[in-house]
Amino acid sequence: GAGVSQSPSNKVTEKGKDVELRCDPISGHTALYWYRQSLGQGLEFLIYFQGNSAPDKSGLPSDRFSAERTGGSVSTLTIQRTQQEDSAVYLCASSLIAGGPLFFGPGTRLTVL
Amino acid sequence: SQELEQSPQSLIVQEGKNLTINCTSSKTLYGLYWYKQKYGEGLIFLMMLQKGGEEKSHEKITAKLDEKKQQSSLHITASQPSHAGIYLCGADSSGTASKLTFGTGTRLQVTL
């Protein structure tokens, strides 16, 4: 496809379970970002990948959150032992180069019961 | 961390009217990005501004960057129902765009 894709589009899980969210960036884009958007809140930066450089993990809210990017393309955001406060829309974005515009995916809506 | 304030928080305008949304940063702006979000959808990129005084237009939307004031404005001329949504500004305060900070958005409704 032409744009950033994310899966699943919706995820409902029970408190304490682990979840994996997937992001397929636009082909050829070197930079990949994860953000989350909670109800009534702005976008919160989580993590940034740029090429083969070490990722900027400064936005991850706790050690329950981790992300990886395999082969410079697909990325997976993992949340372990989910909590109700993790409920949010998780957005992935990619850009051709650092400093270029970010193109966002449709997001994954995570609900932790 | 960078603070971005958008004003107004919400706006209701009649179709055909002009409107302006402002985005003010507490830090130096190396790049300013405008996005639009409709309910249940992702963010749609509108424009990117990088130089002081830069102004860009696309259809009826114009964005300007005032580097000295650390502020950007988004102006919509002759608004239409299709302009309705949430407008978000994002800023790069590092110069590397590694961590864009976003404002909380301006919700725009356009009435007939």
Residue pLDDT, tens place only, B69-108? 899 999 999 999 999 999 999 998 777 777 888 998 999 9
Distance from CA of A41 to the nearest CA of B (A): 6
At B107 the pLDDT is 95
Say yes or no for a CB contact (<8 Å) between A102 and B42. no
The 10s digit of each residue's pLDDT in A47-99 is 999 988 889 999 999 999 999 998 879 999 999 999 999 999 999 999 998 77
Scanning every residue of chain A, which has its alpha carbon at the shortest distance from the alpha carbon of B93? A99
Distance from CA of A44 to the nearest CA of B (A): 8
Could you give phi then psi for residue A86, rounded to 5 degrees? -80, -10
Could you give phi then psi for residue A85, rounded to 5 degrees? -70, -10
Nearest to A99 among B35, B88, B96 (CB): B96
Q: Where are the beta strands (DSSP E) in A17-113?
A: 19-24, 31-37, 43-50, 65-69, 75-79, 88-95, 103-104, 108-112
Q: Flag whether pLDDT at B2 surpasses 60.
A: no
- Establish if B38 touches chain A: CB-CB under 8 angstroms: no
Strand A10-13 and strand A108-112: pairing? parallel
Chain A contact set for B4 (CB, 8 A): 42
At A72 the pLDDT is 77
CB pairs under 8 A between A and B: 55
Say yes or no for a CB contact (<8 Å) between B104 and A42. yes
At A67 the pLDDT is 97
Scanning every residue of chain A, which has its alpha carbon at the shortest distance from the alpha carbon of B6? A42
Bridge partner list, B32: B49, B91
At B8 the pLDDT is 96
Percent of chain B with pLDDT over 70: 97
Q: Flag whether pLDDT at A1 surpasses 70.
A: no
Report which residue type is found at A71: G
At B98 the pLDDT is 74
Mean pLDDT taken over chain B: 90
Strand B101-102 and strand B85-92: pairing? antiparallel
- Establish if A54 touches chain B: CB-CB under 8 angstroms: no
Percent of chain A with pLDDT over 70: 99
